[in-house]
Chains A and B, each alone.
Chain A
Amino acid sequence: MFHAKKPSTMNSHDRPMCVQGDSGLVLTTDPKPRLRWTVELHERFVDAVTQLGGPDKATPKTIMRVMGVKGLTLYHLKSHLQKFRLGKQPHKEFNDHSVKDGDRATSLELQRNSASSSGMIGRNMNEMQMEVQRRLHEQLEVQRHLQLRIEAQGKYMQTILEKACQTLGGEENMSLPTRTFKGIGNHQGGLTPDISAAFKEFGTPPLTFSSFQDLNICGEHIDLHAQSSMGERSSSFDGFMNLSNTSTDHNLSLGKKRSSPYNTSNGKSPFMWSDDFRLHELGGGGSCLGSNNEDDHQIIQMERSCNPEIDSVSDMYESKPLLQDEKKFDTKPERPSPRRAAQVSSLSAQGGRNSVFG
C-alpha cells in the first residue's frame, strides 16, 4: 500500500538494485518498491528512539516526527520498530546483568539490526566506535546533570534551614562577625548539645553540609549572595556567610592552612569529585551548625586558624589547599576541558566497582 505514496521516488536506476529518492530514501526497484534501511537511516532511527526514551517508549508517530524524514511513513516505522524491539530482546541475555537498558543499542545490536535490515555488514567497526563515543558522551552528560541536581537540592535545603533558623532564632540584628547561635541556643526548640557535638565532628562549619554548592564543579558558580539575603537577615548563617564576604578575614585561612589531603582512610568524602578539585569556601553552608554559645564559636574559629593539625583529625570535607591567589570567591572559574577530562578519568579511576563504564 505504501508504494502508492511514493510515485516520485521511482527514478531511473543508478544502482542495479536500489534507487535514491529525492528525500534521501533508498528504495529497491523490485516490482514492489520497498524501503531500504541504510545504516544512516537506521542511525537516525536509533537516535530518534533514544531521544524518545527507548524502543518501548517510542511510538511510530513520535519517531516520525522526530526523525523528520520526508517520505517515511508510519508503516515503515511500525515494522522497523517492531523488528528493532525484537532484535533487542535476545540480547538482553548476553548483556551484563548490571548493564540492561532499552535505550542503549550495543554495537552488537546495531550490527544485527543493520545487517538484517540493510544488508550492509561492513560498517561494524565504525558503528562500534560511534557507539562507544555516544556512550561516553552520555555519561558525561549524566555526571554534569547529577552535579546540578545535587546543587539544587542543597539550595532547597538551605531554604528549609533558613526558615527554621529564623523561627528558632528570632530577629536579632547583631554585628555579623559575632553572630552566633546564642539566640538559638536559648530557644526552646534550639540546638541541643547533641547537635552541636554532632556537627563539631565534621570540623569546619562553613564546609559542612554545604553540599555541592560550595564545590564549583564544572565551574558552575552558585551565587550564594544573590540567592539568599542572609547577609542582612539575622540568621545564624551570618557568622559563616561572613566568611565569603571578606577576603582578608582570618577565617579564610581555613582553606589555605588545610594541608592534609582527603581522609581516604575513612572512606571517601562524598563530595570529592576529583583530586584537582578546590573546595571553595563560600561560607554560607546550608546549616545551622556550630556551637550554641558564643565562646565556643569563637574558640573554634580561632583554633582553626592557629592549628592546622586539628583539621586533619576530624574534617570530612577536606581538600587540597587553595592556591594562594584564590582568595576571592566571586571569580567564576572557567570550565576548562582538561579539568573535565581529569574529573572523568579520576572518576573512573576511583574504582572498578562503580565504574561508570559498567
Chain B
Amino acid sequence: MATIVDETISDFDCYGSLSIASTTITTTTTATTSSSSWNDWSPVFDWDVFSGGDNFQDLIESMVQGSGNCFYKSEHQDCAEFMEEEEESGDSNNNQSEDIDGLKLVHLLMAAAEALTGVNKSRELARVILVRLKELASPNGATNMERLAAYFTEALQALMEGSASGTLHTKHMFSPNYKDEHRQGDVLAAFQLLQDMSPFVKFGHFTANQAIFESVTHDRRVHIVDYDIMEGIQWASLMQALVSRKDGPPTPHLRITALSRSGSGRRSFGTVQETGRRLTAFAASIGQPFSFHHCRLDSDEIFKPTNVKLVRGEALIINCMLHLPHFSYRASDSVASFLSGSKTLNPRLVTLVEEELRPIGDEEGFVGRFMDTLHHYSALYDSLEAGFPLQSRARALVERVFLGPRITGSLARMYRARGEEERCSWGEWLSGVGFCESNISFANHCQAKLLLGLFNDGYRMEEIGTNKLVLGWKSRRLLSASIWTTMDIDL
C-alpha cells in the first residue's frame, strides 16, 4: 500500500511525461485502486470525489476550454480541476524542471490568494492549495522560489486562520513582537549577514548621512531626531564623517533624540537606552561631542512634537528609516504623525528611506498586491543569492529571521486593508504635506554607485527626480532614499 502511494505521489510530483490523455487513465486507475490510501494521505480532501469516472470528461472539456472561469464551478470539481491543471502544467520537458517548479509554485500561490479573496471565494479550495504548497515548499528548500513560497504559504495560512476565527489577531501575530521569538544570537548574526551580503542597509544609511553631512557644513550644533533608531549603526558613519571633516568649523556637537516606544523593542538590539549608551561610548572613542536623548511615545505611537527639546542655533534633521530589511513595520498613523509633527519643528532636512513598491490600482485588489509583493521579495531573494550562491544557509538564516516575518506582516496589512484606498508612498505624502525636494548631490550619488560596485552587478541605482535615489535589483526597484526640506531657498 505504502509503495503505491509513494509512486502516485511521485507521479504527481515530477510531472514528467503525463499528457492529458494519459493523465486521465493514470489517475483513474490510481484513484480507483488506491483511493482509500489517498484519503489516508490527504484527509483534508475527499479523494473519492476525484475518482469518479464520470467527471473526467467534463474535466477535460473544461481544460480544453481553458479559461479561469471554470475554475470555480463547484467546490469539489474545483479541486479536481485544479489538480488536473497542476499536472498538466508540468508537461514540458524535464530540463526546465526547476523553472517549472518555480512557476508552478507561483501559480499555486496566486490561486491560493485568489481563492482566499477573489470574487469567487472558496475557503476549501484555498485550504487544499495551501496543503499542496506546504508539501512542495519548505523554508529550507533548495531553490529561492521554494523557500519564498514556503513563507508566503505560511503567511496565507495565518491569514486564513485569522479570518476563520472572526478576528485577525493582527497585533499579536504580525507585530514586531513576533521577532522577539527569535533568539538574540540569531537576530544579531542575521543582521551582520544581511549587512555584509547586501547593500540595502548601507545604502539607506550612507545616502541619508551624506545628505545630512552636506547640509551641516557650517553648523556647530546638529540635532537629529530619529524615528526608529534600532541599534544605532547609522550614526557611526555620520560621526566618523563629522569628526574628520576638514573645512568649516570644528566637529559640531551632535545631539540625537531617538523615539522610544513602550512595549517591547527589538530585544536583540536592546532598548533605546542601550543604543544610546553604545552611541555615547562610540562617540567618545572617536572624539565626537555627543549627547543622547529619547522621546517616549505612548502606546498609540503618535508623535508629539512638543516632546522634543530644541536648542537655539542647532540644525535640526529628521531621520526616518522605514523599510530596511531588518526593521519592523510601523503603523502608518505613527509614521504620519511623526512626519507631520516634524514639519512644525521646521527642520532643515528630512531624510526618508522606504521600500519602493509598485503602486497598485484598486481593481487589482489583494491578488494584485500579493503578486507584487511576491515579485518584490523574489527580487530580494535573488539578489542575495546572486551575490552568495554558495552560502545558502546564511541566506536561509536571514530569510528566516527578517524576511519571513516581514512577508507575513506585509500580507496581513494588505489583507486588512483591502478595499481601502491604496496608500501612496511616504515620499509623495511628504510632498503633499508641504515638504520640498532637496537635491541629491553628485558626491552622494557617486558614493551610492561606488557602494553598489562592491556588490553584485545586478544591483541598480536610479535617480528619480532630483531628490531620490532608488536601489533596485535588475529591473525591480527595492529601496528608495529621498531628501526633503521645509525651507524654500532664499535669494
The interface of chain A, by Cβ under 8 A from chain B, is: 51-54, 56-57, 59-60, 62, 78, 81-82, 97-104, 135, 138-139, 141-143, 145-146, 148-153, 155-157, 159-161, 163-164, 167-168, 184, 188-192, 194-195, 197-202, 208-209, 211, 227, 266-268, 270-273, 286-288, 313-314, 316, 347, 350-351, 353-354, 356
The answer to whether A195 touches B397, judged by C-beta atoms less than 8 angstroms apart, is yes
Any chain A CB within 8 A of the CB of B75? no
- How many B residues, CB 8 Å from partner? 76
A–B complex contacts, Cβ < 8 Å, 23 sampled: A51-B217, A57-B215, A78-B491, A99-B445, A101-B441, A135-B442, A139-B446, A149-B237, A152-B240, A153-B237, A156-B236, A164-B184, A194-B396, A195-B189, A195-B397, A198-B394, A227-B285, A266-B390, A268-B387, A268-B456, A288-B185, A354-B461, A356-B446
The interface of chain B, by Cβ under 8 A from chain A, is: 183-186, 188-189, 192-193, 195-197, 199, 202, 205-206, 209, 214-215, 217-218, 231-233, 236-237, 239-241, 244, 247, 268-270, 274, 278, 281-282, 285-286, 386-394, 396-397, 400, 438-443, 445-447, 449-457, 461-463, 466, 489-491
The answer to whether B491 touches A59, judged by C-beta atoms less than 8 angstroms apart, is yes
In the assembled complex, which residues on chain B have CB atoms less than 8 Å from the CB atom of A142? 443, 446-447, 450
The answer to whether A102 touches B466, judged by C-beta atoms less than 8 angstroms apart, is yes
The answer to whether B186 touches A195, judged by C-beta atoms less than 8 angstroms apart, is yes
Contact of B439 among A101, A145, A354, A356 (CB under 8 A): A101
Q: Given the known A-B contacts A156-B232, A157-B192, A286-B192, are A266 and B388 also in contact in the complex, defined by CB atoms under 8 Å? A: yes
- Bound-state Cα–Cα, A307 to B453, Å: 32
Highest count of chain B CB atoms <10 Å: which of A141, A163, A195, A200: A195
The answer to whether B450 touches A201, judged by C-beta atoms less than 8 angstroms apart, is no
The answer to whether B454 touches A270, judged by C-beta atoms less than 8 angstroms apart, is yes
In the assembled complex, which residues on chain B have CB atoms less than 8 Å from the CB atom of A270? 196-197, 199, 387, 454-455
In the assembled complex, which residues on chain A have CB atoms less than 8 Å from the CB atom of B445? 99, 101
- Bound-state Cα–Cα, A65 to B239, Å: 26
- Bound-state Cα–Cα, A25 to B457, Å: 51
Interface of chain B, main secondary structure: helix
The answer to whether A145 touches B241, judged by C-beta atoms less than 8 angstroms apart, is yes
Q: Which A residue's beta carbon lies closest to that of B453? A: A354
In the assembled complex, which residues on chain A have CB atoms less than 8 Å from the CB atom of B442? 101, 103-104, 135, 138
Contacts A101-B439, A189-B184 known; 19 new A-B pairs at CB < 8 A: A57-B215, A57-B489, A99-B445, A103-B442, A145-B447, A150-B202, A155-B236, A156-B278, A164-B184, A194-B397, A195-B185, A198-B394, A199-B189, A267-B388, A268-B456, A270-B387, A272-B454, A316-B390, A356-B446
In the assembled complex, which residues on chain A have CB atoms less than 8 Å from the CB atom of B462? 98
Q: Given the known A-B contacts A62-B218, A266-B390, are A209 and B192 also in contact in the complex, defined by CB atoms under 8 Å? A: yes
In the assembled complex, which residues on chain A have CB atoms less than 8 Å from the CB atom of B281? 159
Q: How far is the CB of B382 from chain A (nearest CB, A)?
A: 12
- Bound-state Cα–Cα, A201 to B183, Å: 21
- Bound-state Cα–Cα, A145 to B457, Å: 22
Q: How far is the CB of B188 from chain A (nearest CB, A)?
A: 5
In the assembled complex, which residues on chain A have CB atoms less than 8 Å from the CB atom of B241? 145, 148-149
Q: Which A residue's beta carbon lies closest to that of B240? A: A152
Q: Given the known A-B contacts A81-B491, A356-B449, are A156 and B393 also in contact in the complex, defined by CB atoms under 8 Å? A: no
The answer to whether A288 touches B392, judged by C-beta atoms less than 8 angstroms apart, is no
The answer to whether B446 touches A138, judged by C-beta atoms less than 8 angstroms apart, is yes
Contact of A354 among B185, B239, B452, B463 (CB under 8 A): B452
The answer to whether A164 touches B188, judged by C-beta atoms less than 8 angstroms apart, is yes
Q: Which A residue's beta carbon lies closest to that of B398? A: A198
Highest count of chain B CB atoms <10 Å: which of A99, A146, A161, A188: A146
The answer to whether A159 touches B278, judged by C-beta atoms less than 8 angstroms apart, is yes
Q: Given the known A-B contacts A102-B466, A163-B278, A195-B397, are A157 and B457 also in contact in the complex, defined by CB atoms under 8 Å? A: no
The answer to whether A287 touches B450, judged by C-beta atoms less than 8 angstroms apart, is no
- Bound-state Cα–Cα, A56 to B466, Å: 11
The answer to whether B450 touches A347, judged by C-beta atoms less than 8 angstroms apart, is yes
The answer to whether A267 touches B456, judged by C-beta atoms less than 8 angstroms apart, is yes
The answer to whether A148 touches B489, judged by C-beta atoms less than 8 angstroms apart, is no
The answer to whether B390 touches A201, judged by C-beta atoms less than 8 angstroms apart, is yes
Q: How far is the CB of B217 from chain A (nearest CB, A)?
A: 7
- Bound-state Cα–Cα, A208 to B183, Å: 21
In the assembled complex, which residues on chain B have CB atoms less than 8 Å from the CB atom of A267? 386-389, 455-457
Q: Given the known A-B contacts A53-B215, A156-B232, A267-B386, are A149 and B391 also in contact in the complex, defined by CB atoms under 8 Å? A: no
Contact of B233 among A156, A189, A198 (CB under 8 A): A156
The answer to whether A160 touches B439, judged by C-beta atoms less than 8 angstroms apart, is no
In the assembled complex, which residues on chain B have CB atoms less than 8 Å from the CB atom of A350? 453
Q: How far is the CB of A110 from chain B (nearest CB, A)?
A: 15
- Bound-state Cα–Cα, A157 to B194, Å: 12
- Bound-state Cα–Cα, A351 to B267, Å: 42
Q: How far is the CB of B171 from chain A (nearest CB, A)?
A: 25
Q: Which B residue's beta carbon lies closest to that of A81? A: B491
- Bound-state Cα–Cα, A314 to B215, Å: 43
Q: How far is the CB of B206 from chain A (nearest CB, A)?
A: 6
The answer to whether A198 touches B455, judged by C-beta atoms less than 8 angstroms apart, is no
